[in-house]
Amino acid sequence: MSDDQLFIGLMSGTSLDDIDAAVLRFPGDRPLIRHQISYPLPRELKSQLLGLCNGELSQEIEQFGLADRAMGQVLAEAVHALLDSSGIKPEQVRAIGSHGQTVRHRPPSNQRQSAQAFSLQLGDPNTIAELTGITTVADFRRRDIAAGGQGAPLVPAFHAAAFGLSGHNRVIANIGGMANISILKANGDVTGFDTGPGNVLMDSWVKQWQGTDFDRNGEWAHSGQVNRELLEHFLSDPYYRQQGPKSTGREQYSLQTIENALSDFGAIAPEDVQATLLDLTAKTLCDAILEQSLEHPEIFLCGGGAANKTLRARISQLLPGYSVETTDQLGVPADWVEAAAFAWLAKAALEGMSGNVPAVTGAKGGRILGGIYPG
């Protein structure tokens, strides 16, 4: 496949903020972004998706089907907006890689056998292909789960291709709704896992108390004080002591998680809760990195959390002596790494390449990920 071919990546993450849409080419597997946009999720659809995530809607199957089509239509709109603003024609694009919106993630665990595991993403790829005329690759997680894996995280294969460097120990830390790390070892080995919540708890809490979708630069968290007892309560979650492969989602970390924890405490100022949630994200991420015992690792942050100045500062404090940068230093802006990853996964599917890393997900072996829906 020619290095000049263009691919589009669409990403709508756990945080349920805007859709990230980017068009790229991949000379030598290295991502070069031609153009990118953020496309808004309609508020009504976002509310419907949150209701499905939280299991709050009646007639859930009906709502699931409606949201699947609606999300597919919005993703197609994002593609058209991306192409219109870039001047690129649909026929110039080889394929779209669409992650879709996760509404339920139930990976294998001590409580759930592999045969009972599943992961569901909405955003009908038939609709995307029909409305754009571009071949669409989607439903990336379920083949890995069928092979006994977690279905997540799926970005380490891309991180290795895009950011790996022989002789260098690198950690790519993605802080989206959830946080995950890809450990790219100097000898070429790749491992990784979800470390726990990224932005999801902070976003849920600031939405509850401030009415905003996120805490810009962590300013509200910075105004508070970490409550050590509450932090230890959160850290007692058995998830943090589990060894990989492991993955998580809103099923485990949501506003209800915070409210359940606070029921065991007296009154705590909301800004102190926010400060504690930020420290929880930073500490669980940094603890996971330190447990790798890597020699002279280079840490690169990406995802929405990389833009949170307070969170970045706390991560640097918890990793003294470590180099902590963003993937901007590696040529891919931190905000666009995940969209780039799903464009790359679409390319991998069309080339018949494995898109998972069995050491990360626990799958029985490498698998071609994603169903292909011709344009």
Token pair 């690129």 is found at: 88
Whether 132 and 260 share a structural domain: no
Please give the annotated binding residues, written as ranges. 13-20
Whether 42 and 176 share a structural domain: no
pLDDT at 295: 93
Indicate the pTM of the whole model.
0.95
Alpha-carbon torsion angle 4, 340, 37, 103, nearest 10? 140
Whether 340 and 235 share a structural domain: no
Contact 327, 163 (CB under 8 A): yes
Whether 104 and 208 share a structural domain: no
Whether 322 and 180 share a structural domain: yes
| 195, part of any domain | yes
Which among 1, 36, 78, 3 has a CA at the least distance from the CA of 338? 36
Whether 86 and 205 share a structural domain: no
Where helices occur in the chain by DSSP H, the ranges are 43-54, 60-86, 125-132, 141-146, 156-163, 200-210, 219-222, 228-235, 255-262, 270-290, 309-318, 337-350, 358-361
Token pair 């690198």 is found at: 170
Whether 138 and 206 share a structural domain: no
Whether 189 and 294 share a structural domain: yes
**Residue 138 phi, psi dihedral angles, 5° rounding:** -155, 180
pLDDT in tens, the chain (375 residues): 667 899 999 999 777 779 999 999 999 879 999 999 999 999 999 999 988 888 777 788 999 999 999 999 999 999 999 999 999 999 999 999 999 999 999 998 866 787 899 999 999 999 999 999 999 999 999 999 999 999 999 999 999 999 999 999 999 999 999 999 999 999 999 999 999 999 999 999 999 999 999 999 999 999 999 999 999 999 999 999 999 999 999 999 999 999 999 998 989 999 999 999 999 999 999 999 999 999 999 999 999 999 999 999 999 999 998 999 999 999 999 999 999 999 999 999 999 999 999 999 999 999 999 999 999
Question: Which pairs from 63-68 meet CB under 8 Å and 24+ separation?
Answer: 64/103, 64/122, 67/103, 67/122, 68/122, 68/123, 68/124
Residue 3, Cβ neighbours under 10 Å: how many?
11
Look up residue 14 and give its two tokens: 């756990």
Whether 177 and 248 share a structural domain: yes
Q: For helices 337-350 and 156-163, what crossing angle results, to 10°?
A: 100
| 124, part of any domain | yes
Whether 250 and 109 share a structural domain: no
| 118, part of any domain | yes
Q: Looking at residue 271, which CATH number applies to its domain? A: 3.30.420.40
DSSP-assigned beta bridge partners for residue 197: 178
- Rounded to whole angstroms, how far apart are CA atoms 158 and 38? 21
pLDDT at 19: 96
Dmax (CA) of the chain: 62
Please give the annotated binding residues for ATP, written as ranges. 13-20
| 1, part of any domain | no
Residue 43, Cβ neighbours under 10 Å: how many?
8
Whether 218 and 352 share a structural domain: no
| 105, part of any domain | yes
Which among 97, 135, 99, 136 has a CA at the least distance from the CA of 119? 99
Whether 283 and 208 share a structural domain: yes
Q: In sequence order, what DSSP letters do the residues of 4-39 get, joined into one string?
A: T-EEEEEE--TT--PEEEEEEE-GGG--EEEEEEEE
Q: How many domains does the chain have?
A: 2
Look up residue 186 and give its two tokens: 């100097």
Which of 297, 315, 330 lies at the terminal end of a domain, its last residue? 330
pLDDT at 264: 87
Residue 343: domain span:
6-151+336-373
